Amino acid sequence: MMNYQTFEPHPDLSPLVKFYWTLEVPAQNDAKKQQIIPDGGIEMAFILGNDIKRYITEDVFILQPRAMVLVQRNVPFSIEPVVYFQTFAVSFYPYGFANFITEPIKHLVNKETALTVLFEELVVKELEQKMRQATDTNERIEIIEDFLFAQLNGKAAIDKIVKTTIAALISTKGSAPISEILQQDRAKRRQLERKFAKQIGISPKQLGKVIRLQTALKLLLNEEAESLTHIAYESEYYDQAHFIKDFKEFTGMSPKSFLGNKQMALSSLFYK
């Protein structure tokens, strides 16, 4: 049985951090690969259980770093716990993580990056040790928040044009045209594209597609719509065909194949 829980961040971190989450999955003899769908966020994750395989191809895999950052993915990927799965993670808003590092986010897209690449190695090693030795989630939250506050160091400066764009995309379920948000200002469009590359890692259009798919997935998983046509309409897709095309692009399968697919159990849990 998968045990997934979320926890609120400190109020001073809440403009940047959406929530913390934990996931524990007991050892299983018949554990299957799990396909993870892009969700528009950035995660800092600590593997507390056994190693996790991330598949590069159908049969070739790497072992994920035990303390890592997973940045904006625009393609699905497959993972598989070696035995026992236990993870603690920080879920950042799309613009949140850029405030803690100097490396442009675009260099980190579609891969996992060890924390030692982004922060001082001795600091990360101490952080990893504390996270492993912590006795419960509350203690881990205190440890990670001390680390985040130390790294932030007054650097938080969420760019207004980026935050406004993301807020508009979220409020319109990802369907707001960027030209409308920027009031047809081409100079702002170019500026926004540069800022998104640095702070978010993907383009405004790509983020909009991910947000719109999130809306559709929640409707699909929670059975809040009677048909794919209704889901497409509620999620602001042009038509059902457009919805199915985007769904396949981000999940690798059709909406009907997704439901009940054991390889989608983790993604289904996150989206519910």
CATH topology (fold) of 3-152: Jelly Rolls (2.60.120)
How far, in Å, CA of 125 to CA of 143, rounded? 13
CA gap 267, 272 in Å, rounded:
9
User: Taking residues 1-21, what's their average pLDDT?
Assistant: 89
Range(s) for CATH 2.60.120.10 in the chain? Answer: 3-152
More confident residue, 74 or 208: 208
The CA distance from 177 to 208, in Å, is 9
pLDDT value of position 226: 65
pTM, rounded to two decimals: 0.71
Closest CA to 80 of 36, 20, 131, 23: 36
Q: How many CA atoms lie within 13 A of 245 on its CB side?
A: 7
Candidate from 17-31, 104-118, 141-155, 253-267 with smallest mean pLDDT: 253-267
Dist. CA 30–CA 18, nearest whole Å: 33
Query: Which residue, among 95, 82, 78, has the nearest Cα to 31 in the 3D structure?
Result: 82
Residue keyed to tokens 């030209």? 179
d(CA 237, CA 128): 43
Which ranges in the chain are annotated with CATH 1.10.10.60?
160-271
Identify the sign of the CA torsion 5, 264, 251, 246.
negative
Helix intervals (H) in the chain? 115-118, 121-133, 137-152, 160-171, 178-181, 186-199, 204-221, 228-234, 240-251, 255-258, 265-271
For the stretch 108-123, pLDDT in tens is: 877 889 999 999 999 9
- For 201: left if phi > 0, alpha if psi spans -120 to 50, otherwise beta; the answer is left
**Smallest Cα–Cα separation from 194: which of 203, 185, 186?**
203
- The pLDDT assigned to 69 comes to 93
pLDDT tens digit sequence for 175-227: 777 777 776 666 777 778 887 877 777 788 888 888 888 788 878 777 655 67
- The CATH T-level fold of domain 160-271 is Arc Repressor Mutant, subunit A (1.10.10)
Residue 64: is its pLDDT beyond 60? yes
